[in-house]
Amino acid sequence: MSTDEPTTEPAWTLGRLLTWTADFLKEKGADSPRLDAEVLLAHARGCQRIELYTAFEEEAPEALRESFRDLVRRRAAGMPVAYLVGSREFFSLSFDVTTDVLIPRPETELMVVRALDLAKELEDGRLKIADVGTGSGILAICCAKYLPTSSITALDISPAALEVAKSNAVKHEVNTQIEFIASDLFAARPAKPEFDLILSNPPYVASEEMATLDREVRSYEPRLALDGGVHGTEIIERFIPQAVERLRPGGWLLMEVGPGNSQRVEQLLAAAPGMTLRKTISDLAGLPRVVQGQRIADG
């Protein structure tokens, strides 16, 4: 071959794009570089991720590469994939997310599982459930979806978060089942026993620990939904007595907590007049994750 003959760069097929991007994101410290690359490319292409597997040899047009390049650049800078694509799966449902709400996490699914189990035990045809600090609405919407005769009250201090939750409720066709209220905990709700179940994933990270969180979390997710004060239980300490006042006799309170402050939350709940502390539920890693208590009749 003549040394003067020009060389041709291989075409940028979808497969080549994915391989290059996965290697690039791995160098940048991504935990799941190949998955990130696939999710971002599918989003840029407007297709399901599984559709990429039959299109690896397809050449990527310049417009697609440009759109994908921008997503990859922002991912490499630390922006979570869920915010880049605007959605995250939770309990087999797709939820829209923005930087105004926390990204749903698998551990929180324990709350839904437990709520559904308790609903069977309570044997009430029309349960009243509260989701305090609803964020994107995942707990309220899952309860509404899988307990179609229940009525849900979803509260959040952030009006922007409530807009996301309302949109998700419409998306999953349960908006008529859920009342959304802008409120600091239960401040906007009467102090009377009306709920059979109260669920909450409150801020539980100690303020001094915020700086130690993964870059993706501390730089992009809303601090309002994470920072639980000096000991990580400041908001929980305000929340528990408010929740107790609003639980019906026999009703349950479920709270997601961090492994580092679970014992403190258990102590707070055990000391609350009218409440009986129940067994804390651990996650798949064996860490305490859901603290629960039950309202007693003579409280």
Average pLDDT over residues 13-31: 94
Q: Which domain range does residue 48 map to?
A: 14-77
Q: Are residues 134 and 268 in the same domain?
A: yes
pLDDT score for 122: 83
Q: Are residues 28 and 63 in the same domain?
A: yes
Confidence category of residue 2, pLDDT binned at 50, 70, 90: very low
pLDDT score for 1: 37
CB 204 within 8 A of CB 261: yes
Q: How many domains does the chain have?
A: 2
b or e along 30-56 (b: 16 or more beta carbons within 10 Å of the residue's beta carbon)? beebeebbbbbbbbbbeeeeeebeeee
pLDDT score for 8: 67
Per residue in 50-76, pLDDT (tens digit) is 999 999 999 999 999 999 999 999 999
Q: Are residues 66 and 152 in the same domain?
A: no
Pairing of strands 151-156, 128-132: parallel
Tell me which residue of 88, 169, 89, 93 sits closest to 131, measured CA to CA.
Answer: 169
**DSSP-assigned letters across all residues of 264-299:** HHHHHHHHSTTEEEEEEEE-TTS-EEEEEEEE-TT-
Q: Is the pLDDT of residue 292 over 80?
A: yes
CB 109 within 8 A of CB 92: no
Residue type at 18?
L
Does 274 reside within a domain? yes
pLDDT score for 138: 98
Does 84 reside within a domain? no
**CA–CA gap between residue 164 and residue 137 (Å, rounded):** 8
Per residue in 154-178, pLDDT (tens digit) is 999 999 999 999 999 999 999 999 9
Beta-carbon contacts of residue 9 (< 8 Å; ≥ 6 apart) = none
Q: Are residues 73 and 104 in the same domain?
A: no
Share of the chain above pLDDT 70, in %: 96
Q: Are residues 22 and 134 in the same domain?
A: no
Tell me which residue of 229, 226, 243 sits closest to 291, measured CA to CA.
Answer: 243
Q: Are residues 117 and 264 in the same domain?
A: yes
Confidence category of residue 3, pLDDT binned at 50, 70, 90: very low
Q: Which two tokens stand for residue 96?
A: 């829209």
Q: Are residues 67 and 177 in the same domain?
A: no
**CA–CA gap between residue 99 and residue 86 (Å, rounded):** 9
Looking up tokens 């449902």 gives 93
CB 274 within 8 A of CB 299: yes
Average pLDDT over residues 125-144: 95
Per residue in 212-257, pLDDT (tens digit) is 988 889 899 999 999 999 889 999 999 999 999 999 999 999 999 9
Does 87 reside within a domain? no
CATH of the domain at 279: 3.40.50.150
Does 83 reside within a domain? no
Q: Is the pLDDT of residue 299 over 70?
A: no
Does 200 reside within a domain? yes
Confidence category of residue 6, pLDDT binned at 50, 70, 90: low
- Give the distance between the most distant pair of CA atoms in the chain: 95
CB 133 within 8 A of CB 103: no
Q: Are residues 148 and 223 in the same domain?
A: yes
**CA–CA gap between residue 20 and residue 63 (Å, rounded):** 18
Q: Which two tokens stand for residue 94?
A: 């797709």
Average pLDDT, the chain: 93
Of the ranges 13-17, 162-166, 200-204, 229-233, which one carries the lowest mean pLDDT score? 229-233
Average pLDDT over residues 33-43: 96
